[in-house]
Every structure is written in C-alpha cells, then in structure tokens.
C-alpha cells in the first residue's frame, strides 16, 4: 500500500509537473509566434503610414510647386537671374506651402537662389545629379546632417533654364509621432551607417552597434539580445543615400521569458496560475490599438487640407463607385467641373490668405447646395468636381443651383469683400455610356467648362459630345 501510495503521488506530481511545464512551454511558444507576427505587421504598418504621409505631403507640394515653376514672373526673374526677386518668391512660397527647403540651380547644377537654406556647393551638385534627370520623382536625401524628402521641377521658358528643388524635413518630431502609431523605434541613417535622425538618442547607437545590424531572417527571440532591426524600403533605388531602419525592443520580452523560466524551475505547483497572469500581462504589452495619429493620417490621405472636403483622388474614387451604381440602376449620372472665375485676381489683390478663405467659403456654399449623398471634392487649385445622380431635365437646374449658391452674396473676409462667380461644365453619363477612366468623362466636362468661360463666365454648360459605349468605368 505504501509503495502504491508513493507511486500514485509520484504519478500525480509528475502529471502536474509535466502538465504545468507543457502549458508554460506552449504559452511561451504561442506568445513568441504572436510577437513575431505582430512585429511583422508593425513593419508593414510603418511602411503604410509613412507612404500615406508622404503621398499627402508630396501631392500638395508638387501641385503647388508646379504653379510656381510655371509662373511667368518667376520664369522671367530666373531667365534674367534677378536674385532678390527669386529669393523673395522662394521664401514666400516656401512659407506658404510649409517646406523647409526650396533651392534653384542652373542646368549645370550651380546654385542660383534659395529660401534661406545654405548648402555646400557639392550638395547642390548632388541634388542636381540625383534629381534633375528624374523630375517630380521624390527621394530621401541627407543634406548637412538633415534628412529631406525632395523632388525636382524643371523651369522651362520654353526650354529648361533651371531646376527648382523642393523638400520638407523628416525630423525627430515626425518620427516620434510615427513611433507612437506603430510601436517601433525608427531611424534614418546614411548609406555608410552614420546616425542622422532617430527616435533613439545618438548615445544609444554608440553603445549598441547591433542597432545598425539588419537581420534578414525571421524575427528571433532569445536571451541577451536587446534590439531587432529591419530596413523599411520606401524608395526603389539601387543606391539610396539614406536608409530607414525599424527597431523592435526585445528587453521587455526577454525579462518576461526569464521570469517564466525561473517560475517553472522553482514554483511548479503554481505555474498554471502564473502562466495565466504573465500571459495576460504580455498580451497587454504587445497590444497596439490604432492611435489618433494613424486616424489623422488616413483622414489627410483622403481629404483636402484647406477645405476639409474630399481630395481629388478620393473624390474621383467615390464618383466612379456612384457611376457604377447608377448604371446598375439604369439611372443617369452627371459630373460637373466648377472653376472660380478670375480667382488669380483675388490672390494678386488681397493675398493668398484671402484666396484660401474664399476657397473655403465657396466649398461650404457648394456643399450646402448638394444632397448628403452627392459627391463633391476639390479637384485642384480653384477647381471643384461634383457628381450627382439626376434626371436629364434636372441636370442643368442642379448646375444653376451650384452657380447661384456661390454668386448669391459677396464673400466677406477680415480685410476684403468680393463678388464671386463660377463657371461650370457638366457631362451626363447614361447607363450605356461607359469609359475606361473618369479622366475621359472629365475631358468632356472640361470642354463644356471652356465654352462657359469663352461665353462670358458665370454660366453652366453641358457637354453635347457623344459618349463611347460598352466599356467599363474604372477609376
């Protein structure tokens, strides 16, 4: 009996010990795999968040900078090398579009003017050699130990006479905002591995060289390793001048794993309870809900920064969806392009801030004149695009309603009061009228808009052009 009792005790204790160890081992393995998957998702999230941010900033900067490069006064100043005028225009435009760097070089890469940024001659040459051959193609560059997102625009009169370089700085504030969103430390380093800007202090790099060691294998976890580093590829270039690294801090995980190991060895009788508590704590630590910054980036990616309405891409996507729905329902859809008359005169007479206030008020009036399910967005500059489902006889009435909503009363600002009119061109889309892209439809609406402008402005014109058929609408 005593021997049987001993055997039962041994079996029971062994079963409890084996069960506890098995549960703890399984818990550690599941948590480890979950961490691997989560960190991979965080890397993808970091890439997506950065791309969203860059697309929003670049879209606005490119369109604004093209306007400057095409400005007659600016091109005249460049052609005559009137440096005071060029510097003033660069500084004013840089402040208006909120960029830190605006530079102008001649065709050979020699510096002509800037918005106050002082670079070494060799940096101007680097900019020219890297960007002039690929206009409007943005890239990251390190200049004077600062990281910039840059692109080049040729100044043509009509041949290329100079290059305009525009860029905004990627600083520690931005990286910390992204870190709060994705839960990973981020660093920009030079191609040689020199520290440029990071969410980590520079002395951390000096103490731990593994931060610059890229591990291309699966995410690993083990004792003694503090950092796991991966490179995020944003620019598809063969030899980037800067690299973006993401760092996962494994110290918290390693501490937990050591603690669990000691508990298995010394406290097998209570290991199940400790596994539950430790697993809960670990789950709370690795959870990463979407932050306010991430939601803000998504909003900015789809909305115009000035008016708050849909931006060009988002508006055209929405209109394409509504066109497909209307065609399925055998309904008629109308796309309007609205252009503010003589808007440049407002900017010239009252300033760009007044022009911005006018655009905001126009956007408000147009939106109030539409139904909740109609689509409106800022197409670019002083143009708006509107999409409505409507019967053919009512299409012109809606265009007139939009026109009257704008010119019904003066727009009054702090130091100005102006009467505003808009010209509108529209294109009806019938159930059988289908196109490869909405750009084809916009071309017809633009033709009608041109007639409205030509006939005296403050008018609504509908396109009478025939529509292609039996082709699928696709944004």
Residue 202 near residue 214 (C-beta atoms within 8 A): no
Q: From first to last of its 475 residues, what are the pLDDT tens digits of the chain?
A: 444 434 444 545 555 556 766 766 776 676 666 666 766 777 777 777 777 777 887 888 888 888 888 888 888 888 888 888 888 888 888 888 888 888 888 888 888 888 878 888 888 888 888 888 888 888 888 888 888 888 899 998 888 899 998 988 888 888 888 788 777 888 888 777 777 888 887 777 665 666 666 554 444 444 456 777 777 776 666 567 788 888 877 777 767 667 766 666 666 556 544 444 544 444 444 444 444 555 777 888 899 999 999 999 999 999 999 999 999 999 999 999 999 999 999 999 999 999 999 999 999 999 999 999 999 999 999 999 999 999 888 999 999 999 999 998 999 988 899 999 999 999 999 988 877 888 889 999 999 999 999 999 999 999 866 555 544 344 4
> 233: exposed, middle or buried (C-beta count within 10 Å: 0-12, 13-18, 19+)?
exposed
What is residue 178's predicted lDDT score, i.e. its pLDDT?
79
Q: What is the pLDDT of residue 303?
A: 92
Buried-exposed string 406-442: b where 16+ CB fall within 10 A, e elsewhere:
beeeebebeebebebebbbbbbbbeeebbbeebeebb
Query: What pLDDT is attached to residue 139?
Result: 86
Looking at residue 265, its pLDDT comes to 64
Residue 151 is encoded by which pair of tokens?
């692109």
Which letter does DSSP use for residue 247 in this model? E
Tell me the C-alpha distance between 437 and 316, whole Å: 10
Beta strand 417-418 with 411-412 is: antiparallel
Query: What is the per-residue pLDDT for 323?
Result: 93
Strand 242-249 with 417-418, pairing = unpaired
CA distance 181 to 291: 5
421 Cα distance to chain centroid: 33
Strand partners, 242: 190
């Amino acid at each position: 009996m005593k021997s049987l009792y001993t055997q039962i005790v041994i079996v029971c204790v062994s079963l409890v010990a084996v069960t506890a160890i098995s549960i703890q081992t399984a818990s550690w393995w599941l948590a480890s795999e979950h961490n691997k998957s989560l960190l991979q998702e965080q890397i993808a999230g970091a890439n997506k968040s950065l791309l969203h941010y860059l697309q929003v900033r670049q879209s606005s900067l490119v369109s604004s900078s093209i306007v400057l490069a095409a400005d007659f006064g600016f091109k005249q100043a460049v052609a005559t090398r009137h440096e005071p005028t060029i510097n003033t225009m660069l500084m004013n435009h840089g402040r208006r579009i909120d960029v830190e760097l605006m530079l102008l070089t001649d065709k050979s890469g020699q510096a002509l003017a800037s918005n106050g940024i002082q670079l070494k001659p060799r940096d101007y040459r680097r900019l020219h050699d890297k960007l002039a051959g690929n206009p409007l193609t943005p890239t990251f560059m390190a200049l004077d130990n600062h990281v910039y997102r840059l692109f080049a625009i040729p100044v043509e009169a009509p041949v290329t006479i100079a290059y305009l370089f525009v860029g905004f700085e990627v600083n520690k504030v931005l990286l910390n905002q992204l870190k709060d969103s994705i839960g990973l430390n981020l660093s920009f380093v030079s191609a040689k591995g020199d520290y440029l800007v990071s969410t980590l202090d520079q002395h951390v790099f000096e103490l731990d060289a593994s931060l610059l060691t890229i591990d291309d294998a699966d995410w690993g976890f083990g004792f003694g390793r503090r950092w796991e580093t991966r490179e995020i590829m944003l620019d598809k270039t063969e030899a980037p001048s800067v690299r973006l690294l993401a760092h996962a801090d494994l110290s918290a995980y390693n501490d937990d794993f050591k603690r669990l190991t000691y508990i298995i060895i010394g406290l097998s009788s209570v290991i199940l309870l400790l596994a539950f508590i430790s697993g809960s704590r670990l789950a709370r630590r690795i959870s990463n809900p979407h932050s306010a910054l991430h939601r803000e980036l998504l909003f900015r990616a789809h909305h115009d920064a000035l008016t708050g309405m849909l931006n060009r891409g988002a508006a055209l996507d929405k209109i394409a969806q509504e066109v497909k729905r209307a065609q399925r329902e055998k309904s008629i859809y109308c796309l309007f392009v609205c252009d503010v008359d003589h808007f440049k005169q407002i900017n010239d007479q009252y300033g760009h801030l007044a022009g911005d206030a006018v655009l905001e008020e126009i956007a408000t009036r147009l939106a109030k004149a539409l139904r909740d399910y109609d689509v409106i967005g800022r197409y670019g500059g002083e143009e708006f695009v509107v999409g409505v489902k409507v019967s053919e006889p009512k299409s012109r009435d809606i265009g007139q309603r939009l026109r009257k909503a704008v010119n019904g009363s003066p727009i009054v600002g702090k130091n100005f009061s102006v009467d505003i009119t808009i010209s509108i061109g529209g294109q009806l889309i019938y159930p059988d009228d289908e196109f490869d892209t909405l750009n084809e439809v916009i071309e017809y609406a633009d033709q009608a808009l041109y007639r409205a402008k030509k006939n005296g402005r403050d008018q609504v014109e509908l396109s009478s052009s025939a529509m292609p058929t039996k082709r699928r609408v696709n944004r």
